[in-house]
Structure 1
Amino acid sequence: MTRSAFLVTASALALGGVSTQVQAQARGLDETEVIVVTAQRRAEAQVDVPISITAIDARALETANVNELSDIQTLAPALRFDRQSQFVQPTIRGIGTSITTAGGGSNVGIYVDGFYSPNPAEADFDLLNVRSVQVLKGPQGTLFGRNTTGGAILVETADPGVDTAGEFKISYGSFQTIRTQGYVTTGLTDNLAVDLEGGYATGQAFQRNIASGERDRRFRNWQVRTGLKLDLGDVSAKLRYQHVETDDARPLLYNIYVDEVLGTGAPSFAPPSTYTTDPDYYAPGADRSVVTSTNDIVQLTIEADLGFAELASFTQYREQDVDSSLDLDKTALTIFQFGLPVYNKTFTQEFLLTSAPGPRLQYTAGLFYLFNSDRYETYSDNGVPQGFGRFRLGGSEAPTRSYAAFLDLTYALSEKFFVTAGLRYAHDTIENAYYNVGTQEFGVDDVKGDKLTPRVVLRYKPSEDTSIYASYAKGYKAAILDVGGSCQNPPAFQCNDVSPENVDAFELGFKTRGNGFSLEAAAFYYDYRNLQVSLFTDGRAEIINAAQAEIYGVEGSASVQLGSGFSLNLGGAYVHGRYTDFPGAPVYMPCAQFGPDVAASCAASGVSYLNVPVDLADVDMQRTPEFTGNLGARWDVPLAGGDLALSGNLYYTSSFFFGPSGTQFEGGDYEVLSLRAQWDDADKRFFVAVFGDNVTDNRYVNQVQYNNFGFGATWSAPRSWGVELGYRY
């Protein structure tokens, strides 16, 4: 499906939805259910919140066959999830990053039940008993703080309940994929509840080994999560523990990326038999490529109703150990197998004071503390298959602390006019950072900085179910100390102090809801400065503040209940994201282009491409498609004494570029269609479902790994089908 075809279809359906709204009103359909969100750190109707929000409930997640957090991009226009091997990095409206380094972090904050998760190796995870996911678009620097330059993703799961309940489901699908999940909750006393949840997934990677022709790589992921909640009325406390283990090398099963300009991205001296460009195969050198992780999370939430306000405390400790080994040349040759274990520890403490509903003045105030340390170790793993083991190359660590205080006030000037003003002060430090040469440790100077991020909103409410707003918000991505790059570059061994990214965002928005219908629309403009960019030139890696950018666009979504059990939702976003000034942009060129002497030197070093700095202006931003959209439908109808639900979701994205310069490694436009048919018995206890993913069998690149040794790609899985059984009580 082309973009024009999608736009024509979506526009026709949107107009049909508006027309149907009038018909629905004439028929007197029930009011659309009020959607409650927590985008301003308190529960409010979505129509009253002056922020662009894609709110996805459990039914919508089921409709689109969403299993992992990254799957929500098919339901949220202007959102992408991209990978750098084991690191997952969201981008919202063009604001994201491809940097993976100690202390680096993402530009989009991910919160689970109010707890911040800054580790990019934890940014994608299986969704367990999720009630809703909210995608907040635009900088959230006041209420959510550092590294929410592009926005925030809020995941809300179910609490333990005193009423005994449970749900169990198992599915089997293409490539021998098995997923099981179970959840139980019960009351130990009238005010003490416990729950337990577990999930296990295993299956084959869809790619075949070019040497054997077999699907010989499997993944196995499992997790267990338990909680204890004490509810004393005005005071409640919830303690949670989660343990996750994964063994999943699918993101590392590369084939060779073929570029229209650069050609085949394999080493020039690699025989054709040692690599593949077929999306359904991988080079056997990747037999050594692994990604395993162990993750433990402890969270304590305490809430107290003070009458005039609610006080909440969020205390969290996370620890994750990841071991990975990457085939940098993407061939069967033993050129460079790169080991990259990462050991992450995170502690957060946040206090929130939110006003009780009712008074003309509503507020959210808070204090926040973060400690985050991700220790990188680097190895040559070339000797692993031969039994020689790993050879230590180096590593780095940049322990980060952040202290913040914030206040956000909304005052009702009248029944129709509201003004919001907020401010966050943050003090960030990087202390006791170091880099390794081999195992030898070299300390570097500390970095400290202060940041103010304000927010101002004017909102007009012409009716109870309609809002119009204009907002200004500032966001920032915290400073980086480049211990993984420039600190180690001879002869100066001088660390780059990489300043925070800054964005000033302006937005006009409209929201309304009524008889079986809801609509949101927004126009936005971002002034985006001091972009943190990773360079690799002359064999030296470094991170610098390089680019300036301008982003503007429009976005909208609508949903309508058409009657007779039929519902429709539609969303789309146009994003014009351009680097206005990008001096020294990293651009890859074939060694042969620089003459025979350079080509010979490259061959001796085992590389085929050089990364050269080029001054660019007015070029596309990385990972920023101009158009993204989705169209979903669901029909519920009685059948055989129960209820049958037929649902589907179509997602489309225009083309974009994976490379940081915005001019290389293009990902073409594509669509993804998910379908599901589910029958529930009359008591809603038993269900059986048949589902399909990527039903149109559209094959597209979902990751490009680029370096001087070679260019690798991973592709979308082909069409897949499955069946699921479930039981609830």
Structure 2
Amino acid sequence: MTAQRRTESLQRVPISISAITSTALTKAGATGTLALTTVTPGLQLPQNRNSVTPSIRGVGSQNVTPGDEGATAVYVDGILYAAAGANIFSLNNVDQVEVLRGPQGTLFGRNAVGGLINIITRTPNDEQQIRGSIGYGNYDTTTGQLYVAGGLTTGIAADLALYGSYQGKGWGRNLNLGNEVNFNREGSARSKFAFDLDGATKLILSGDYSYGKNDIGNTRQPLPGTRAVGGGGFVGTIYDTSGDMPIYAKKETWGVSAKLTHSLGWADFTSTTAFRHYDLEYNLDQDGTPTVYVDGRTPELTKTLQQEFLLAGSVGRLKWTTGLFYFYSNAAWVDFTQRSTVTPATNFILNSRMLTNSYAAFAQGSYALTDATHLTVGLRYTRDTRAISAAQYALAGNPRPAGTLLNSTDLLPHDQTHRAFDKLTWRFALDQQITQSILVFGSVSRGFKSGVFNASSPFNPAVSPETLDAYEIGAKADLFDRQLRLNVSAYHYNYDNIQLQAVNATGQSILLNAAKGRINGIDGDITVAPRVSFGDLQVHLTMAYLDATYRSFPAGQVLTPRPAPAGGNILSSGDLSGNDIIFSPHFTSGVSGSYEFPVDGSHDLGLSATWYRNGSFYWDPQNRVKQPAYDLVNGQISLSFADRKFTIRGFVRNLLNKKYYAQVSPSPTGDLGVPGAPRTYGAAFDFSF
């Protein structure tokens, strides 16, 4: 467990954490980041366009424009993934996934207000390994993955992980254009070189590349019973559309990093350097109907640089960690275009760029007051500087000649295009080891999300920073000779200046601050691993209760459906105080189980299933558009042979074929929905040497 930036037992850390191994992910059918909700209490992963914006305990972000890193962070091997469009990916080559609930603003920082998803991939050693899988499923979907690792020479090991998936058929059709929609095709490669330089010094060099083309998350249409601007409504099934243009998203991302660790004897020093490149392009029909109301092409180019120095050690009863962190982001829309035949005065092309420099210094220590009582104190000071630059030009159809400059940040005062935000965040925790197997803890902490400009509406002022003060108590217990693990936490949040996304009458994304929010909840998980006389049995249960409301929101966006035949929504404002916070179901729960047993001397049969219930929640602060509760059931059966070197698996996801939405976007254009995945099934052949 690395939640406190050092290896330690999950059950001894005074933080609410879900840790899922690669084996558990496979058994639960969680093959990508979007599936983590089924095995993690309190986690929601709504999609916005072809991006995902994690929300933990009701704390998350809607905005996916370049340069806004979100309120819940995603890290891979200690590297921040800063572009929301890069947070949907397969969980290939994963050793473990840790989901930390609650503010992590001391040790991880960088906008980890709601918590963070920490993905740890395998690191090679001298052991020679070859693992792989080939699978085929419905919708003509072929998948394959390969992992090769081992020692190259004394002190040097390397690995290579490859993944690919090709979905030949879409879930639905565009009933206007006649083509298939809702498809996904992707591939990735990741490699590490691990050097043991002198016993005390280790170096890991990493590189990764991924490419994808799909339209899942971008293909949308009006919700049943509603009409978009122009009068178009729901057609076919939830997986269909009648949009006026082919929809797609192309992603090309890559990164390199270097992690150097050195033992000083009295402390361990770690330097992490990383560069990441995100090239994302979306083709989007805002209304999902044959009417060309707002069509957009949104090429995004983001480059980030991260440098962190970490020093960790212990003195007597004190374990301490301190460090410096720097993050740079150059995020831009490059020739962002918006076209409409209904309101051609809004036709434009936009180039906007936001530069971010973030500096932080932090320290945290855990002091043993007694052998069983520990006090943890952490502080972090962060200073962010942001600068926005943009120019907007007329496109054909605009009343002004094409190419005419419509607006520029050069016309704005300097203090409206350059802002600095700083904050001291902290964490205080007290934990008591009641017995060797029971820990109780309490904590107070503060999280901070920097103020930010919106690259889609760059001529507006930046929104104010978010702050969240969290109060939490929890217990962790291993009972009945470790056959039962029980982890549970209760919390209260005061959430100020919540950053929300809205869409104006011309289809343009804007950011605003809701005044205050209050969140109360309880969540936890139970793992049962009884010692059965035959085989291996494990059952895992998760639950989360959440009461999240806007305490004060006096001027929120209010949308009123416009009567037919015009369609769309009338935009106004109103007091939304007391409404539920978006993406906050009152109750979610899940049960997953696996049972493996020998069939004969060389064969093992495995059965696993997962049931997940997501309670109802609202997609908008107005609480007008609601996602009804839904259930997802996944299952798998496997047969291993030749001493587990080979395994044949059959799997099904969304067994009950429940129809639900992965994203709904209420706006003046209409109430547009993006479907969640239908029932998928298939078979795979795994090998391991």
TM over 0.5: yes
Please tell me whether residue 41 in structure 1 is matched to residue 5 in structure 2.
yes
- Letter in structure 2 aligned against 1:551: I
SS across alignment from 1:252: coil
Show the counterpart of 2:559: 588
| 8 Å Cα contact 2:583/2:618 also seen in 1 | yes
Does residue 143 of structure 1 match 2:127?
Answer: no
1:436 to 374, 392, 413: 392
Report the Cα distance in structure 1 between the residues aligned to 2:642 and 2:516, rounded to whole angstroms. 58
CA distance in 1, matches of 2:294, 2:392: 19
Conserved? CA contact 1:348–1:369, under 8 Å: yes
Q: For residue 490 of structure 2, what is the aligned residue in structure 1?
A: 523
Does residue 653 (structure 1) correspond to residue 621 (structure 2)? The answer is no
Q: Between Structure 1 and Structure 2, how many residues are aligned?
A: 660
| 1:542 maps to 2:510 | yes
- Pair 1:264 & 2:232 matched: no
Question: Which among 196, 204, 224 is matched to residue 231 of structure 1?
Answer: 196
Q: Is the 8 A contact 1:537 1:613 kept in 2?
A: no
| 1:6 paired residue number | none
Secondary structure at the aligned position of 2:139 is classed as helix
> After superposition, what is the alpha-carbon deviation per residue over 1:312-333, rounded to whole angstroms, capped at 9, x for unaligned?
1110000011111100120123
Amino acid corresponding to residue 480 of structure 1 in structure 2: V
Instruction: Summarize the Cα distance change of 1:379–1:98 in structure 2 as closer, same or farther, 3 Å threshold.
Output: same
Output the CA distance in 1 between the equivalents of 2:134 and 2:465.
Answer: 45
- In 1, are the aligned partners of 2:181 and 2:240 still within 8 Å (CA)? no
The counterpart of 2:420, out of the listed 430, 448, 467, is 448
Partners of 1:685 and 1:679 lie apart in 2 by 11
Q: Give yes or no for contact 2:339–2:348 (8 Å, CA) kept in 1.
A: no
Matched, 1:405 2:361: yes
| TM-aligned CA deviation for residue 145 of structure 1 | 0.9
Q: Which amino acid aligns with 1:525?
A: H
Partner of 2:375: 419
**Match 1:283 to one of 215, 232, 242:** 242
Q: Which amino acid aligns with 2:238?
A: P
2:474: which partner in 1? Answer: 509
Deviation at 1:56, TM superposition (A): 0.6
Distance 1:552 1:383 in 2: 44
Match of 2:441 in 1: 469
Question: Map of 1:351-362 to 2, 5 A cutoff?
Answer: 351-355=309-313, 359-362=316-319
Unaligned stretches of 5+ residues in structure 1:
1-36, 385-389, 489-494, 594-598
2:297 is matched with 339
3-state DSSP of counterpart to 1:175: coil
Contact between 1:403 and 1:428, CA under 8 Å: does it hold in 2? Answer: yes
Matched, 1:122 2:82: no
> Distance in 1 between the 2:595 and 2:236 partners?
41
- In the TM superposition, 1:37-436 aligns within 5 A as 37-203=1-167, 204-211=169-176, 215=180, 218-232=183-197, 233-258=199-224, 263-270=225-232, 276=235, 278-286=237-245, 288-355=246-313, 359-377=316-334, 379-380=336-337, 393-431=349-387, 433-436=389-392
Q: Deviations over 1:342-394 (max 9, x none)?
A: 101010001111215x841001111100001210145446699xxxxx97521
Conserved in 1, the CA contact under 8 Å of 2:558 and 2:622? no
What are the Cα deviations for residues 281-339 of structure 1, in whole angstroms up to 9, with x where unaligned? 222535x2110011111011111122222111110000011111100120123333211
**Aligned-partner Cα distance in 2 for 1:626–1:219:** 32
Residue matched to 1:34: none
Residues 536, 53 of structure 1: alpha-carbon distance in 2 compared, 3 angstrom cutoff: same
The amino acid of 2:466's aligned partner reads: E
The one-letter code matched in structure 1 to 2:477 is T
Q: How far, CA to CA, are the matches of 1:314 and 1:249 in structure 2?
A: 35
Cα distance, 1:716–1:86 mapped onto 2, change above 3 Å: closer
Taking the aligned partners of 1:395 and 1:154, their CA distance within structure 2 comes to 33
How far has the Cα of 1:698 moved from its partner? 1.3
- Partner residue in 2 for 1:32: none
Paired residue secondary structure (2:257): strand
Q: Secondary structure at the match of 1:59?
A: helix
Question: Hey, what's the Cα distance between the residues in 1 that align with 2:2 and 2:662?
Answer: 31
- SS of residue in 2 equivalent to 1:251: coil
Describe the SS at the equivalent of 2:58.
coil
Change (3 A) 1:149 1:276: same
Relative to structure 1, is the Cα distance of residues 419 and 217 closer, same or farther in structure 2, using a 3 angstrom cutoff?
Answer: closer
* Structure 1 residues 38 and 283: CA distance shift in structure 2, 3 A: same
Alpha-carbon separation, structure 1, partners of 2:684 and 2:173: 26
Question: Is residue 2:663 matched to residue 1:692?
Answer: no
Change (3 A) 1:568 1:137: same
Range that drifts further, 203-212 or 316-325: 203-212
Equivalent of 1:560, from 520, 528, 533?
528
Q: Could you say if the C-alpha distance between residues 139 and 176 of structure 1 is closer, same or farther in structure 2, counting changes exceeding 3 Å? A: same
Is the alpha carbon distance of 1:340 and 1:541 closer, same or farther for their aligned partners in structure 2, counting shifts above 3 Å?
Answer: closer
Contact 1:255 1:278 in 2 (8 A): no
Give the superposition deviation at 1:212: 7.4
Which residue type is aligned with residue 426 of structure 2? P
Q: For residues 448 and 382 of structure 1, what CA distance do their matches in structure 2 show?
A: 34
Task: Look up the equivalent residue of 2:636 and give its one-letter code.
Answer: R
The structure in which a higher percent of residues are helix is 1
Of the three residues 533, 536, 540, the one matched with 1:569 is 540
The equivalent residue for 1:10 is none
What CA RMSD, in Å, does the superposition of the two structures yield over aligned residues? Answer: 2.2
Equivalent-residue separation in structure 1 for 2:347 and 2:177 (angstroms) = 29
Q: Normalising by structure 2, report the TM-score.
A: 0.92
1-structure distance, mates of 2:652, 2:323 = 44
Identical residues among aligned pairs (%): 29
What is residue 399 of structure 2 aligned with on the other side? none
The residue type equivalent to 1:550 in the other structure is: R
Deviation, 1:522, is: 0.8
Indicate if the aligned counterparts of 1:239 and 1:300 stay in contact, CA closer than 8 A.
yes
> Structure 1 residues 541, 392: closer, same or farther in 2, change over 3 A?
closer
8 Å CA contact retained: 1:536, 1:611: no
